[in-house]
Structure 1
Amino acid sequence: MDAELLPWAVRLRAERRRRLWSQKEMARRLVEAADDETRKCLPVRETIIRRIKAYEAGHNQPRDPYRLLYTRVFDISEAELFDMPQTPSRPALDDVLARLPDSDTLTSRLPRTGRRIGMSTIADLSAAVHRLRLADDMLAGGDLLQPAFRELDAATRLYREATYSENTGRALLCRIGEFAQITGWVASDAGHHEQAAKTYRLGIWAAQGAGDGTLQSNLLGSLAYQITNVGDPNEGVTLAHAAVDAAGPHAPARARALAWDRVAWAHVQVGEADAAMRALGQAGAALADHSDEDEPAYLYWVNAHELQIMEARAYTELRRPLRAVPLLTDVLHHYDATHARELALYLSWLAVALADANEPEEAARTALRMFDLSKDLASDRTVRRHRVVLDRLAPYRDVPHVREVIEQCR
């Protein structure tokens, strides 16, 4: 399983795929990187391709001359590619869950005197929660806060008051967990972070009760993402790794990719660049396994573009603008003004990366576009990004266009 691959194997495959090279193309480039004397000693191309497959599967680590050739082709140091990291000990999933405060929203069960419900009600709830997710694609948290909590409250009341079979009860807990995830996300975007954290914890409790590790992973990852951004990033790292553990190696590919994506972001925020890059490699390796497998509807948005955005954001935060700018420029072509919040957020990272690349005029133009898109959005996330962008532009305020944008946007 990809989740169990050695870090160097993940890095070799991730670096190749990041460049959109096939294994055949990789073999060609390794040969080209060799000097004349070394090239004479290399086997035929088919043998090199087999070696590449074995390396990326973790069967054996490259030795010279292949180690040297890999470093030349990727322009990455041998230590960064092949060293085995010292992995810090992390609390087990059960220990992490035990530290989360209990939610009494569902545990204080009332006598169930209401109507009996069946799977048709579950189907209605599934449709309702997915409508809420799609609405979140277009609207900001402040616009969805009340309807989201209204839907979540209705689902929890059904659990407390209705009667149902054991199977229906488990399915109802899953729907409550899904409502809690999107409602927590909406609350977080609206700036209600404590309320969001409580809602995520309710969802984690429901997912545990239903025995749904994939849903539990999604909720833990969402909570980790919020705590990483507005709380203690080290706690975010712990929760993000717990999300990976909750998903396990047999979860749907996109669930594993999302969990590793959250791990990468948490490590970025604590300044652990190597750990972040390894996690991005794991996310890419997991997503590469995606096919037509049966998976929850809430994973619909996890795709290669989203991983590319996270990679670009990671490079921006780590002050590597020459890597971030091309990635962001490419991926922004896939978003339009109907996704105003996401487009504004991604433009904010592009503006920061351009400023770090000493391109103040282009950074200012990008910032102005971001401000115009987000000025009417009820989103705490875009407000926070406004401040970051303006602070990053401040050293260039002597540039006329930058000064004009700063004065206009403050």
Structure 2
Amino acid sequence: MSSGIGANIRRERDRLGWSQARLGREVCRAAGIAGEPVGRQEVSRWETGKRKPREWLPFLAAALAVPVEVLTTPQTAAEPPLPTLADFLPAEDPLAPLSARTGGRLGMGQVDDMQQRVHGLRLADDYLAGGDLMRPALRELRRAVRLYREHSYTDLTGRQLLVQIGELAQIAGWIASDAGQHEEAERIYRLGLSAATQAEDRTLAGNLAGSLAYQLTNTGREVEGLTLARAALDGAGPDAPPKARALYLDRVAWAHTKAGGTENAQQAMRALGEASEALSADSEETEEPAYLYWVDAGELQVMESRVYTELRRPLRAVPLLRDVLGRYDATHTRELALYLSWLAVAYADANEPEEAAATAERVISLSADVASERTAERVRVVLARLAEYAEVPEVRAVLDAAA
């Protein structure tokens, strides 16, 4: 990020809590120009130093309600600024509408149709795995982006389209990640983050950033994952819906856990406690985004047990996992296999190799027909952990069968 004018623009924009798209609109309004010749992409170039605002500078100052000198005078920061979600947007905006839109005009009817398709895809992910849903998910996402770029619409309809693109990108990114397509998933998540940011939907932006942080954490990029998980939580703000805040804190807890070390373990436990407190603030009167339907006390309990397992505290993990699995919907095969994999590892840590072997057999059986890289990776983790008890007959049988 630029340390001159760009950093000053960014600082003043953050002070007002505006998105880059919002600043672009305010600059055009200050200049008395109809339309939006200055968009999010142009503001991003100013802030990163790729382009100087030049003739736009006085209008920038007017929009931000500061003297021009505040923007042109270099500021010496006492310490590097904390990352924000804007740092994770795509370098070039793939959502920029085409200058010549030939697809006709869209209304809220098309937005409602898109919303139903997104919800249908999300429900399908409860029962099917990434390998099964990858193609239809990408097809839906490409269609949605094409509708947004090629058609005309009112400002309200445009923002609702962006929201649906953001929601679609979140579930499509999750599906791609489950299929083991991590680079593709990261591109999709960043596209969705751009859409949510332009729509000024902070809760959705936090969900997308948290999803990407979760992938980074689980694919060997723990430091990046922790940084982004914290940025997602901070970006959503303290007024985020309770379920959303609980989910973001859950991801922060997992990121701290995977980062390792005593201090991170303490931070993980603190985040878990805050997640539980956030969820307890939820009530029937609270309006929650529909895509958070799955976030409940059981899901927080799963994350808590996974954290305890990762921290090698099986006496805490095993009872939690058995309680959750005792009332879990067996039709959700992928999640059942994943949760059982953590139980198998916890049993091994508790020096119960026979129980670990029996649980591992269930994991392997459930995973056999699931096109999920997540379950495949967890099977590998479980087998590696069981190898330490290879002399136990029950374990030997499982290892031989897997081989």
Which TM-score tier does this pair reach, normalised by the shorter chain? 0.7 to 0.9
Give the 5 Å matches for 1:310-389. Answer: 310-389=303-382
User: Partner residue of 2:205?
Assistant: 216
Distance of 1:339 and 1:110 partners within structure 2: 45
1:41-84 CA-to-partner distances (Å, cap 9, x unmatched) read: xxxxxxxxxxxxxxxxxxxxxxxxxxxxxxxxxxxxxxxxxxxx
Number of residue-to-residue matches in the alignment: 321
Within-5 A mapping of 1:11-410:
91-94=81-84, 96-107=85-96, 109-271=98-260, 272-292=264-284, 293-410=286-403
- Point out where structure 2 has 5 or more consecutive residues left out of the alignment: 1-78
Confirm or deny: 8 A CA contact 1:133 1:182 kept in the other structure: yes
**CA distance in 2 between partners of 1:99 and 1:150 (Å):** 24
RMSD between aligned residues: 1.3
Higher RCO by CA contacts (8 Å cutoff, separation 6 or greater): 1
CA distance in 2, matches of 1:119, 1:161: 16
1:176-224 C-alpha deviation (Å, 9 max, x unpaired)? 0000000000000000000000000000000010000000000000000
Q: 4+ residue stretches of structure 1 with deviation over 4 A?
A: none
Structure 1 gaps of 5+ residues are 1-88
| TM-score, normalised with respect to structure 2 | 0.78
Amino acid at match of 2:355: E
Distance in 2 separating the partners of 1:118 and 1:185: 28
Kept after mapping to 2: 8 A contact 1:188/1:196: yes
Q: Deviations over 1:318-338 (max 9, x none)?
A: 000000000000001222331
Q: Distance in 2 between matches of 1:100 and 1:153?
A: 18
Conservation of the 8 A alpha-carbon contact between 1:103 and 1:198: no
Matched position secondary structure for 1:216: helix
Please, what TM-score do these two structures have when normalized by structure 1? 0.76
Relative to 1, partners in 2 of residues 1:108 and 1:118: Cα closer, same or farther, differing over 3 Å? closer
Aligned to 2:195, the other structure's residue is in SS state helix
- Deviation by residue 1:18-57 (Cα, 9 ceiling, x = unmatched): xxxxxxxxxxxxxxxxxxxxxxxxxxxxxxxxxxxxxxxx
Q: Distance in 2 between matches of 1:353 and 1:90?
A: 40
Secondary structure class of the residue paired with 1:337: coil
Given that 2:129 and 2:372 are in contact with CA atoms closer than 8 Å, whether structure 1 keeps it comes out as yes
Aligned counterparts of 1:317 and 1:125: Cα–Cα separation in 2: 39
